[in-house]
């Protein structure tokens, strides 16, 4: 275990044009080029993608799940942001 750890990368794949990249998993690789090649071999063996992004895992900033109450609280009380909050007169069938 004297070896240095190989960096971790997160892999995002666009399955086809018109769709956004989605998180597929992660790979270990010494540099970006090798990470891309490893991501191709590990996550697109059956035509799963047309575009791959790899991002150093250490570069991702995430919220603390223990504080998700405070983080997402402001949204809970704003039900008027949803169209279903508004009642339409019966005469208006669709809007």
Chain residues that interact with another protein, rule: CB under 8 A: 1, 3-6, 8, 25-31, 34, 41-42, 45-46, 62, 64-66
Q: Distance between CA atoms of 86 and 94, rounded to whole angstroms?
A: 12
Which 3 state secondary structure label does DSSP give 71? Answer: helix
27 closest CA partner among 44, 43, 15: 43
Nearer to another protein, 45 or 78 (CB): 45
The minimum distance between CB 34 and another protein, in angstroms, equals 6
Could you tell me if 37 and 3 are in contact, meaning their C-beta atoms sit under 8 angstroms apart? no
Which 3 state secondary structure label does DSSP give 79? Answer: helix
The minimum distance between CB 10 and another protein, in angstroms, equals 10
The minimum distance between CB 42 and another protein, in angstroms, equals 5
Nearer to another protein, 19 or 41 (CB): 41
């Amino acid at each position: 275990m004297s070896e240095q750890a190989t960096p971790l990368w997160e892999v995002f794949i666009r399955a086809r044009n018109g769709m956004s990249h989605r998180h597929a998993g992660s790979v270990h690789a010494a540099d970006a080029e090798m990470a891309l090649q490893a991501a191709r071999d590990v996550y697109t063996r059956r035509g799963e993608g047309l575009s791959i992004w790899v991002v150093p895992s250490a570069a991702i900033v995430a919220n603390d799940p223990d504080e998700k109450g405070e983080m997402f609280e402001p949204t809970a009380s704003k039900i008027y942001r949803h169209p279903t909050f508004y009642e339409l007169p019966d005469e208006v069938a669709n809007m």
